[in-house]
Amino acid sequence: QKMIFTTLPRPVFAPPYEPIPGNVRFYYDGKQMKLSPEAEEVATFFAKMLDHEYTTKDIFRKNFFKDWRKEMTPEEKAKITDLSKCNFTEMSVYFKAQSEARKQMSKDEKLENERVLQEYGFCVMDNHKERIANFRIEPPGLFRGRGDHPKMGMLKRRIRPEDVIVNCSKDSKHPKPPPGTKWKEVRHDNKVTWLVSWNENIQGSIKYIMLNPSSRIKGEKDWQKYETARRLKKCVDRIRNQYREDWKSKEMRIRQRAVALYFIDKLALRAGNEKEEGETADTVGCCSLRVEHINLYPEKDGQEFVVEFDFLGKDSIRYYNKVPVEKRVYKNVQLFMENKQPEDDLFDRLNTSILNKHLQELMDGLTAKVFRTYNASITLQQQLKELTNPDENVPAKILSYNRANRAVAILCNHQRAPPKTFEKSMQTLQTKIDAKKDQLSDARRELKSAKADAKVRRDEKSKRAVEAKKKAVERIEEQLMKLEVQATDREENKQIALGTSKLNYLDPRISVAWCKKWEIPVEKIYNKTQREKFAWAIDMADDDYEF
DNA sequence: CGTTTTACTTAGCAATAAACGT
DNA sequence: ACGTTTATTGCTAAGTAAAACG
C-alpha cells in the first residue's frame, strides 16, 4: 500500500558517554567523591538541568534519585543516601563552559552536521529521495513530563541497536547495524510508514522514526485530512440539527453524546480519551471531563445559562472559558451532574470510542478531531474575509492575516508562556517607534522648507529637491506604520501561539488563495520549512479556492 | 466486547541560526 | 565584526483513533 522501495540509512545513535575530566569533581556531604562511569553519567544528566525548575520539584528529585541509585555500585549506593547532600555544581559549570565553547568553534561542527544530515538524513521511498524527520535516536537523559507528571525525573535509558526494529521493503538492502551489534529485528511491513522503532522505558510506548512533513506520504495524508474536513462542511448543518434533536432524547447516553458533541463543535474541544490513572499528568478532554471541571450559572455577567469550564487539557495547558449555552444544554449538564461527586465523570455513559462510532455513522471518516480541523479552517476563511481591507498596504494585510490566525489559535486554546524577554522587547520596539516619529517630523519640516524654497526660486533643481523630500517622508511614514503594526501584532500575541494552528489545523490552500488574491508573496505567510510542508497546497490552490 | 497495543498527529519549549543594530 | 534580539528548527511528550488481542 505505502512503501514500495526504500533505501534506508542507519539511524544515528546517541554518542557514547564521555567521562568528565578529573578536575571536575562531585561532592557528597561536602567530601569529594569519584563516581563509577555508570553513576557519573546519570549524575551529569541531573547536573545539566540544575538551572531548571524541574530539579526543585519533589517528584522529579525522588524519581531521579531512585533511578540513579540503580546505576550505582554497592559502595556508592551505601554512601549516597540523600540527594540534598549531593553537590553537582562543578559538573554544571563544566557543561555550561562546554556549550559556550561549542558556540565559538561551530564552523567545523556545522560542516559535520551537514555531512551527517546528508549521510543519514534521507531515504528513498517509492523512488523519491525523502527527508527523514527524526533520524537521530533519542539520547539517554531524565524524563521531562509536562505539568504534574508522576514520572518526571526518571531515567530514560540509552537505546542500543539491539533495541531497534528496522522496517523497509524486502528487496531493499537494509542498513547494517554498527560493527559488533545486531538489530532487534528487520521487518518488512508496507502497511505502515515508519522506518525505525524502539520501545521507550518510561511509559512503555513505542517511538518511531518517520519521514519529514515535506515527504509525499505525509503531504498526501495532510491533504486527505483537509478533504475530510471539507466533507464535514457539506453536512455539518444536518449533524448540528441532529444533535440538537438528541438533546431531548429519552436515553441518557444519547443526550450525553449530543451535549458532548455540541461542546466539541462549538468550543473545539479535544475528544478526551481515557488515560491510565497515575501514569500521566491528570488532564482531560471533552469525553473525560469531570464534574469538578464545570460550574453552572443560571445568570452571570448579564447572560443566561452560563457554563464555566476550568480544566487542564493536553500538555497541562489550562482551558478556562465561560460560555452561554442554550437552555436545553444547560438543563442537560445540570442533569448529568446530579448526585455526583466532584471527581466523577460528567459524561458517565460516554467515551471517545462510542462517540466516534456514532460520528462514523453520520459521515464516512468522521471523528471528533475533524471538528477541530473544520472549525479552525472555516474560522480562518471567515476571518480573512472579514478583516482584509483591500485598500490597505501589504504589512496591514499581513496584520489582518495574523489576526485571523489568532482568532483560530484562541478558539483552539493554543497558548504559550509569555517570552521571558517580552516586556523588554516591547520597550525597545516602542523606543524605535518614538525615534521614527521624530525622524518623520524632521523629514516633514525639511519638506516644508524645500517647498517654500521652490516657490521662491521656481527652478528645476529645487522642484526635484521637493520631490526627493516627499519621497523621503513617504518612506519614513511607511516604516513607522510597519513598526506600529509590528507592535500591535506582538502585543496581541503575548500569550498566544500561532504556529500550532498554522501547521496542523488550517487548510493551507485558504492561505495560499488569500496570498494570490491580494498579491501577497507566500513567503510572507510561510517560511521555508512551511512552504516545503505545504508544497502540495501552493501547487494546487488558485485565488478563488473555497474551503 | 472491553482492554491493550500500535501508529500516527498535535503540542509547547529549548536550542540553534539568522537578522539586526552598534 | 560583534553582541544581542528574533525567527526557525529540533526535540520529544502527549494526544487521537483504530487495530489487535483475549
pLDDT tens, position by position, A352-363: 999 999 999 999
| CA A322 – CA A307 distance, rounded (Å) | 6
- Share of chain A residues as helix, strand and coil, in percent rounded to the nearest 5: 50, 15, 35
Please state whether beta strands A164-167 and A185-187 pair in parallel, antiparallel, or not at all (unpaired).
parallel
Look over chain A and give the mean of its residue pLDDT values, rounded to a whole number.
92
**Residue A447: all three cell numbers together:** 519638506
* CA–C1' nearest nucleotide, residue A49: B14
**Residue A349: all three cell numbers together:** 455513559
Residues whose CB is less than 8 angstroms from the CB of residue A477 and which lie 6 or more positions away in sequence, other chains included: A440
- Please name the residue whose C-alpha is nearest to the C1' of nucleotide B6: A206
* CA–C1' nearest nucleotide, residue A500: B11
pLDDT digit string, tens, across residues A452-484: 888 888 888 888 888 888 888 887 787 777 777
Active-site position among A243, A505, A526, A545 = A505
Of A143, A145, A160, nearest in space to A45 by CA: A143
**Residue A459: all three cell numbers together:** 527652478
Beta bridge partners of A197: A165, A208
pLDDT digit string, tens, across residues A137-159: 999 999 999 999 999 999 999 99
* Residue A436 identity (one-letter amino acid): K
What is the average per-residue pLDDT within A217-227? 97
Q: What are phi and psi of A441, to 5 degrees?
A: -70, -35
What band does A2 get if pLDDT is binned at 50, 70 and 90? low
Q: With 70 as the cut, is the pLDDT of residue A1 above it?
A: no
A505 is catalytic: yes
| CA A483 – CA A430 distance, rounded (Å) | 9
**Which residues of chain A between 313 and 372 are close to nucleic strand B, CB under 7 A?**
314-315, 317, 353, 369
